[in-house]
C-alpha cells in the first residue's frame, strides 16, 4: 500500500474545518494510495453537502462509509453526521500451525453517546485506528474549538504511530491544536498549507 510505513491517515477537525480540509485534501494527488478517515464535528442533521463541497477540490473519491465497509486505499472517508466512525481491526484466524490475518480492517458506525459533546468524535476515531493499525497510523489534528482529539493522538503515539498538528497560528480556531500540543508529544507542528505536501513526502516520496 504505497512506499511509506503508514497504512491509514486519520484526520480530526471542528470549527473552521471545512476550509482546513479543502486546503489539505486539495494537496493530495490522485495517485495517493492510502485511506484517509476524517471526523469533522457537524450538526446531527447535516446532509451530504460537506462531502460534495470537499469533493470539488479533492482528486481522491470522498464518501461516507457504511457500517462494516471495507477500508480501501486511495479513498477519503468522512464520518457520517450523528455517528461515531470506528476502525475495526484485522480478523485473526487461529490454527495449530500459524496465526493469520484473514480480513482487512473495516469501518463501524456507532450511535453511542457523544464524547466531549461530539458525535462523530475525533477521539473515538483516533483511538480505534490506533488499536487496529498500531504503528501504521498517522494522526492529523486541525483547527477546532474543543479538546477532542488530544486523547486520540495520545493513543496513536502510545501505540507507535505519529502525530501532526496544525500550527495554531494558522488555525481558524486554535483551541483544539493548542490542547493537543500542550498534552501530547506531537511529532510535527505545521502550517495548514504545508500539511498535505508533508504527508505526501512522508508516506510516498516518489509522488513528490
14 is catalytic: yes
Q: How confident is the model at residue 100 (pLDDT cuts 50, 70, 90)?
A: low
pLDDT digits (tens, 9 = 90+) for 173-182: 999 999 999 9
Can you read off the three cell numbers belonging to residue 141?
489534528
67 is catalytic: no
Q: How confident is the model at residue 2 (pLDDT cuts 50, 70, 90)?
A: very low
3-state secondary structure at position 141:
strand
Q: How confident is the model at residue 46 (pLDDT cuts 50, 70, 90)?
A: confident
CB of 10 closer than 8 Å to CB of 125: yes
pLDDT at 128: 97
Q: How far is CA 198 from the centre of its chain?
A: 15
Q: How confident is the model at residue 89 (pLDDT cuts 50, 70, 90)?
A: confident
Extended strands (E) in 14-97? 36-40, 62-63, 76-78, 84-88, 91-94
Q: What are phi and psi of 50, to 5 degrees?
A: -65, -45
Q: How confident is the model at residue 47 (pLDDT cuts 50, 70, 90)?
A: confident
CB of 179 closer than 8 Å to CB of 154: no
> Above 60 in pLDDT, residue 5?
yes
Domain boundaries of the chain, sorted by first residue:
8-207
148 is catalytic: yes
Catalytic residue among 128, 146, 148, 150: 148
Catalytic residue among 3, 41, 46, 110: 41
Q: What are phi and psi of 191, to 5 degrees?
A: -60, 150
Instruction: State the average pLDDT for the chain.
Output: 91
Considering the domain 8-207, what is its CATH architecture?
3-Layer(aba) Sandwich (3.40)
204 versus 85: the higher-pLDDT residue is: 85
- What percent helix, strand, coil does the chain show, rounded to 5? 35, 25, 45
Of 61-70, 99-108, 143-152, 193-202, the poorest mean pLDDT is in 99-108
> Above 90 in pLDDT, residue 101?
no
Length of the chain: 208
> Above 50 in pLDDT, residue 154?
yes
Amino acid at each position: 500500500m504505497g512506499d511509506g510505513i503508514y497504512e491509514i491517515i486519520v484526520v480530526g477537525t471542528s470549527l473552521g474545518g471545512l476550509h482546513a480540509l479543502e486546503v489539505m485534501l486539495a494537496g493530495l494527488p490522485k495517485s495517493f494510495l492510502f485511506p484517509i478517515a476524517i471526523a469533522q464535528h457537524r450538526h446531527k442533521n447535516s446532509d451530504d453537502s460537506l462531502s460534495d463541497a470537499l469533493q470539488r477540490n479533492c482528486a481522491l473519491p470522498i464518501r461516507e462509509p457504511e457500517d462494516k465497509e471495507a477500508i480501501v486505499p486511495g479513498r477519503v472517508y468522512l464520518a457520517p453526521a450523528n455517528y461515531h466512525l470506528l476502525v475495526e481491526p484485522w480478523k485473526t484466524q487461529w490454527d495449530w500451525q500459524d496465526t493469520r490475518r484473514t480480513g482487512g480492517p473495516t469501518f463501524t458506525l456507532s450511535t453511542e453517546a457523544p464524547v466531549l459533546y461530539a458525535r462523530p468524535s475525533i477521539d473515538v476515531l483516533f483511538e480505534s485506528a490506533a488499536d487496529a493499525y498500531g504503528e501504521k497510523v498517522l494522526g492529523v489534528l486541525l483547527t477546532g474549538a474543543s479538546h477532542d482529539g488530544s486523547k486520540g493522538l495520545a493513543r496513536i503515539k502510545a501505540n507507535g504511530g505519529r502525530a501532526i498538528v496544525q500550527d495554531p497560528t494558522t488555525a481558524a480556531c486554535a483551541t483544539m491544536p493548542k490542547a493537543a500540543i500542550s498534552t501530547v508529544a506531537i511529532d510535527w507542528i505545521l502550517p495548514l498549507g504545508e500539511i498535505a505536501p508533508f504527508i505526501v513526502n512522508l508516506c510516498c516520496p516518489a509522488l513528490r
